[in-house]
Structure 1
Amino acid sequence: MLIQSVRFDGSPRLHAMMTDAPLPVGARAVVQGKRGPEVATVRTGPTPRSEDGRYGMILREATPEDLERWAELAREAEDLKWFLRARVRARGIAAKVVAVEFTLDGNLVTISYSAEERIELGSLIADVRGHTRAKVNFAAVGPREQAMMIGTLGACGRENCSSNHLQEFAPVSIRMARDQQLPLNPEKLSGPCGRLLCCLQYEHGQYQDLLKEIPRKNARVCHTESGACGKVTKLHPLTGSVDVYTDEGLLANVPASALTVLKGEANGGAGGGKAKERRERPERER
């Protein structure tokens, strides 16, 4: 038994499936997942099965009849989605119907919705049963999952990462923006989902390594050659330099390698470094 990964429509995530007869990459296949039979696209070649994995099953390559039925169900799901959105507005329910999906056999319809608070779904279930005999499953999704399903453009002008390639949503914190010296403007740091940009995590590790080599912000430093001292006001991790406001009232951009941190000034965190600690005060300040 071999393993191939497939991608379902409307999601970039790969799902490992067992198969007896490997299919070519890009082929449309009927697979047995958690919800039932669905159509998915094969995205990877066959690999040996791992004994500790939990897998679905590739049943067969999708036939023209399967694809026609899948397209018909997609149209039915789209009509049902807009009908439910209208019913939600008419009833004043504080929720948004994000997506509606049928299984290939038509026995299950999954309705994904987002809501800030717990809502009563009984009336919507009755509306769905007026349009289909399929079993109804409501699934609450968060803002990131919603952006993944709907698909939008990011600030970079490309398709947002969550609907393009992300396999999981890693935690993103405001500390990542601080470490990258970005302005703490919510409009600049938020993605289409209203949460912090997923891409803040991509280079965070590199910034953490760079920050170890420079003094932290507000640290007292002295130039190793001139002896001029001052306070660090801004960090430039990519160039390995900092802006220093000197005691003489001048602002200078200085390489971190040319500075020493005065004794008692800690490094680390958002701009801490390995800059050599000065063991004694310079002659001019004694």
Structure 2
Amino acid sequence: MVVLPVRFERSPRLHPMLSEVAHPVGTRVVVQGKRGPEVATVRGEPTPPQEQERYGAVLRAATPEDLSRWEDLHTTGEDLKWLLRARARQRSLPVKVVAVEFTLDESLVTVSYSAEERIELTGLISELRGHTRARVNFAAVGPREQAQMIGTLGACGRENCSSTHLQDFAPVSIRMARDQQLPLNPEKLSGPCGRLLCCLQFEHTQYLDLLKDLPRKNARVCHEGSGACGKVTKLHPLAGTVDVTTDQGVLTDVPAAELRRLTDAEIKAMPDTGRGGGRPGRPNRAQPRE
């Protein structure tokens, strides 16, 4: 027995399945999953099974009859999807039917839907039972799962990551955008699903490593070469430089290695006009104007 990673049609996630035959990559197989028998594609090399792991099972290589039936069921599911969408509009139900999927033996039909609030689905269930004898299961999906199943284009112009390679939806926070010095514009930081871009997590660890060698924003520093002191106003992690605002102006793209961070004692000992916290040319409010 070996373990084969297989992929279903609407998700890039790999599912380990026990198999008596080491089918080559790309082979269409019939597997026994949680919902029942389905067609999947082998997407990796065989590995030995691990103890205390739970696996599905590869039943056989898909025959031409299996694939033909699978295509027919896919077509039927697409027709029912549009039918349910039309019925939902007629009933003024605030729901979007994302996908309708049958198992290969047509014993179960799963309707994936998205809704912002709890809704009554009895009418749609009755409508569906008028077209199939399969057991009906309605499954709610979130915005990211919806984008994964439908497939969309990201801001990069390529197909969204959730439909191509992401195995899990890792938490994404606005702090990741701050660490990467990105403008906090919701339109630019949101993906087609309306949530924060999944790709913000890809390079976050590298940015954290780069930020370790840079002074923090608003830190008081002095330039070793010119002796000018001021406040760090912007970081450039990839270049290893920062922008510093002093009373005399702005120093741009200063290498972090040429800066010395001031201690609390040095900051307290500095005159107000030398701390680099005010705007150039603006009088100090602590001193009377002439």
Structures share fold, TM-score greater than 0.5:
yes
Q: Judge which range, 249-258 or 209-218, deviates more.
A: 249-258
- Written as runs of structure 1 = structure 2, the 5 A alignment for 1:191-210 is 191-210=191-210
Which residue number in structure 1 is paired with residue 186 of structure 2?
186
Contact 1:227 1:282 in 2 (8 A): no
CA displacement at 1:262 relative to structure 2: 1.4
> Structure 1 CA distance, aligned partners of 2:269 and 2:202?
40
Contact 1:30 1:62 in 2 (8 A): yes
Contact 1:262 1:281 in 2 (8 A): no
Structure 1, unaligned runs of 5 or more: 266-277
> Structure 1 CA distance, aligned partners of 2:87 and 2:199?
36
The residue type paired with residue 58 of structure 2 is I
CA displacement at 1:169 relative to structure 2: 0.4
Which residue number in structure 2 is paired with residue 247 of structure 1?
247
2:65 aligns to what SS in structure 1? helix
Question: Per-residue displacement from partner, 1:112-145 (whole Å, max 9, x unpaired)?
Answer: 0001111111111101101101000000000000
> Structure 2 CA distance, aligned partners of 1:6 and 1:233?
49
> Structure 2 CA distance, aligned partners of 1:142 and 1:213?
39
> Structure 1 CA distance, aligned partners of 2:58 and 2:141?
26
RMSD: 1.9
The residue type paired with residue 212 of structure 2 is K
Which residue number in structure 2 is paired with residue 161 of structure 1?
161
Which residue number in structure 2 is paired with residue 126 of structure 1?
126
Q: Judge which range, 29-38 or 248-257, deviates more.
A: 248-257
Which residue number in structure 2 is paired with residue 104 of structure 1?
104
Contact 2:101 2:110 in 1 (8 A): yes
The residue type paired with residue 222 of structure 1 is C
Contact 1:109 1:134 in 2 (8 A): yes
Which residue number in structure 2 is paired with residue 66 of structure 1?
66
**Residue 79 in structure 1 maps to residue 79 in structure 2:** yes
> Structure 1 CA distance, aligned partners of 2:264 and 2:214?
16
Question: Per-residue displacement from partner, 1:202-235 (whole Å, max 9, x unpaired)?
Answer: 0000101111111111111111233210111111
Judged with a 3 Å threshold, the aligned counterparts in structure 2 of structure 1 residues 285 and 36 are, in CA distance, closer, same or farther, namely closer
1:131 aligns to what SS in structure 2? coil
Which residue number in structure 2 is paired with residue 19 of structure 1?
19
> Structure 2 CA distance, aligned partners of 1:28 and 1:88?
35
CA displacement at 1:186 relative to structure 2: 0.8
CA displacement at 1:250 relative to structure 2: 3.6
> Structure 2 CA distance, aligned partners of 1:152 and 1:73?
23
Question: Per-residue displacement from partner, 1:225-261 (whole Å, max 9, x unpaired)?
Answer: 3321011111101111110111223443311111111
Question: Per-residue displacement from partner, 1:89-127 (whole Å, max 9, x unpaired)?
Answer: 111111100001000000100000001111111111101
Which residue number in structure 1 is paired with residue 223 of structure 2?
223
TM value normalised by structure 1: 0.92
Question: Per-residue displacement from partner, 1:71-93 (whole Å, max 9, x unpaired)?
Answer: 11001000000000001111111
The residue type paired with residue 140 of structure 2 is A
Contact 1:230 1:245 in 2 (8 A): yes
> Structure 1 CA distance, aligned partners of 2:230 and 2:20?
70
Question: Per-residue displacement from partner, 1:29-81 (whole Å, max 9, x unpaired)?
Answer: 00000000000001112110001211100000011000110011001000000
> Structure 2 CA distance, aligned partners of 1:156 and 1:233?
29
TM value normalised by structure 2: 0.91
2:40 aligns to what SS in structure 1? strand
Structure 2, unaligned runs of 5 or more: 276-290
Percent sequence identity over aligned pairs: 71
Q: Judge which range, 256-265 or 145-154, deviates more.
A: 256-265
> Structure 2 CA distance, aligned partners of 1:27 and 1:217?
53
Which residue number in structure 1 is paired with residue 90 of structure 2?
90
Judged with a 3 Å threshold, the aligned counterparts in structure 2 of structure 1 residues 82 and 119 are, in CA distance, closer, same or farther, namely same
The residue type paired with residue 217 of structure 1 is K
Paired residues in the alignment total: 274
Contact 2:220 2:267 in 1 (8 A): no
Structure showing greater Rg:
2
1:217 aligns to what SS in structure 2? coil
Which residue number in structure 2 is paired with residue 275 of structure 1?
none
Question: Per-residue displacement from partner, 1:8-33 (whole Å, max 9, x unpaired)?
Answer: 01111100000112211111100000
CA displacement at 1:282 relative to structure 2: 7.8
Contact 1:14 1:167 in 2 (8 A): yes
The residue type paired with residue 64 of structure 1 is P
